[in-house]
Amino acid sequence: MFLLDTPVLLELRKAGSGRIDSGVLSWATATPRQRLFVSAVSFLDLERSVLKLERTDKTGGAALRRWLDDQVTTAFDGRVLAVDQAVARKSATLSLVERDALVAATALVHGLTLVTPNVAAFRAGRLKTFSPWGYRPEADEEAEDWRQAGKASGAWLKNLFLRS
């Protein structure tokens, strides 16, 4: 199971425009959404981005607000992981900036792989990381399984991360 870092969510938003990295798109469509989680820290990051954009670009801010409220919140209902006591304690042991420590600790406490483009920034303990940028399934039977899964579960990506 996977914890999506904020840049991954922002990349997934590009799916509707066709500007999304092909590796991220391939990986996301092949991964059942029930295996994807987000940290409350990512919602904090996104909320701050929305508020900042709403002050400088009302139209862009409104679009980002709709995406966050209508699509992201719905897509991850029941799969937003809080910063609780266990996460706080674990983050205190990590030699990372506070924001990254909280995200890494969330993944560690819940036994998740952190999906991020910033793999190098998360060199902490036994944290498993993965960057889907440039992802390509292998051309063998296992890859065929990924393609079949992508056909079956790809609709969630189109339905949940298209801009309105």
Residue 47: which domain range? 2-161
Model pLDDT, residue 140: 36
Cα-Cα-Cα-Cα dihedral sign, residues 32, 147, 145, 143: negative
- Two structure tokens written together for 6: 């904020």
Q: In which element (H, E) is residue 125 found?
A: none
Query: What value does the mean pLDDT take over residues 93-113?
Result: 96
- Could you tell me which residues are beta bridge partners of residue 3? 37, 114
Residues 164, 16 contacting (CB under 8 angstroms):
no
Model pLDDT, residue 141: 45
DSSP code for 129: E
Against a cut of 0.85, is the pTM above it? no
- Distance from chain centroid for Cα 123: 18
**Looking at the 3D structure of the chain, how many domains does it have?**
1
CATH of the domain at 65: 3.40.50.1010
Q: Does 7 score more than 50 pLDDT?
A: yes
Residue 42, CA atoms < 13 Å, CB-side half-sphere: 25
